[in-house]
Structure 1
């Protein structure tokens, strides 16, 4: 289904789908006139809905959709899936020339995959000037961080006493934790965050010791 271009810009705060776009679409995304919001809302109302593919929880998605609908009078069709499913669905639709999604919202490395496949488009919104530079991973305008994850450690209170808890990641290298740690095998974001915080060389060395 070929979709008109206005909707994506109306909710362009995450990553905008590009594979259905034309030069006129890009003009809309990058428009910076004083009447920008009014033009986008008018165009969105003609289309009647925004299609959002996101990993956010159902509750968060509903809250976002409700607020958007109350403010703009445009329905938000929120399709929730895992990060992997969102990428797979986006790639399948692009190959089939089916243009369903207006906006993608998922983990940064998955959005990066869509960027590398050239499935995203540059966009402008005045709120970007209020966002910290770190929210733009590569400095381009095709996607921006909209939420941040906190990585924490949990422990089994039946097996570990509070006074035994590690105070740092380095404490996990102590022999007492050998065979007692479980880590999600696909959690590359946690891996990348720890490695970046430690410095790449030290971080990679740390994980090698942890895995030994």
Structure 2
């Protein structure tokens, strides 16, 4: 899932106007979570289910695909038939705008938003979301959730380096990011025009100065920049446009490989992962049901269900389908909403300037 951070200044202005709405109701949601945290597991489970049964429903705004999201909702309703789900599906930006527009009008309909890193950060800054640390987070990897609970990742999009096996043979396959600066790869690589998530992870891992120096050196390799779509770039690579696709989405690469295409991939450090996360809304009208769904999706049962769809769930010990398991050979460095979200405009400007992308 790609983050679309355009309109950042407009969104930020809207959110600053929402800060006065920091509600007393938010404390009520937090109080529920605080009270639950004092209960033994069996009593906690009963309290959540009793509250959710009384509420009878919850509302989710999500950017998950129209093919997969109904499967997730159906699995949850099968597990908890006393809770009905109401879902709005859109882009990360549209889900965020819908929630913020409703809040400005004094309407608080949504309980949970499930979407991308920048939006998670903006929800927190606008005081639309609240912290919730599910007990299930103990089984989640480092960096996949906010220490204060403002976002909790439940799945990931791995970012890999893909290559065309007919154009690149074993001795010439790069082993790390530094190898990509070798002159023999000049003019043979492509990169998307909106790879801000990957760019953010690279700068965080390398440090600003070293990271920017590396990116400038990489840009001198005459990269092909055909557009924002990772899938299109991989298809162009398979057609011979380039030998290497940088920042390719791992799931699509594996799908092409399973179909017999001449493609393979390597995982380099840092291994960037784009998280899809949940945020509990501060004025959630159905807080128990929202907590129930969050716990379910992060649980062993919920994560196994996601993997079966298949989606790339991140809970430790979950077995992925087929060759998708190969994408979990190394630990992810997750896109950090706090780092990326707080510096979105700067990161976009740096990326565009270095790689010669026109906004």
Question: TM-score by structure 1 length?
Answer: 0.75
Partner in structure 1 of residue 30 of structure 2? 26
Q: CA 1:88–1:105 in structure 2 vs 1: closer, same or farther (change >3 Å)?
A: same
Query: 1:109-152, CA deviations, whole angstroms, 9 ceiling, x for partnerless residues?
Result: 32012111111112243223333442234x21222222233101
Return structure 1 stretches of 4+ with deviation > 6 angstroms: none
Are 2:61 and 2:114, in contact at CA under 8 Å, matched by a contact in 1?
Answer: yes
Residue of 103, 120, 132 corresponding to 1:94: 103
- Unpaired runs of 5+ in structure 1? 1-17
Query: 1:13-35, CA deviations, whole angstroms, 9 ceiling, x for partnerless residues?
Result: xxxxx869343332223222242
Residue of 79, 83, 94 corresponding to 2:92: 83
Q: CA 1:183–1:96 in structure 2 vs 1: closer, same or farther (change >3 Å)?
A: farther
Q: CA 1:26–1:80 in structure 2 vs 1: closer, same or farther (change >3 Å)?
A: same
Cα distance in structure 2, aligned partners of 1:20 and 1:60? 36
- Unpaired runs of 5+ in structure 2? 1-21, 221-359
| Offset of residue 188 of structure 1 | 1.8
Partner in structure 2 of residue 161 of structure 1? 168
Residue of 127, 142, 146 corresponding to 2:150: 142
Are 1:136 and 1:145, in contact at CA under 8 Å, matched by a contact in 2?
Answer: yes
Partner in structure 1 of residue 126 of structure 2? 117
Is 1:131 aligned with 2:140? Answer: yes
Partner in structure 1 of residue 195 of structure 2? 187
Are 1:114 and 1:120, in contact at CA under 8 Å, matched by a contact in 2?
Answer: yes
Question: TM-score by structure 2 length?
Answer: 0.47
SS in 1 for 2:152: coil
Equivalenced residues, count:
193
Q: Which has the higher contact order (CA 8 A, sep 6+)?
A: 2
Residue of 69, 74, 79 corresponding to 2:77: 69
Q: CA 1:210–1:107 in structure 2 vs 1: closer, same or farther (change >3 Å)?
A: same
Two-structure CA RMSD over aligned residues (Å)? 2.7
| Offset of residue 53 of structure 1 | 1.6
Are 2:181 and 2:217, in contact at CA under 8 Å, matched by a contact in 1?
Answer: yes
Residue of 56, 63, 68 corresponding to 1:55: 63
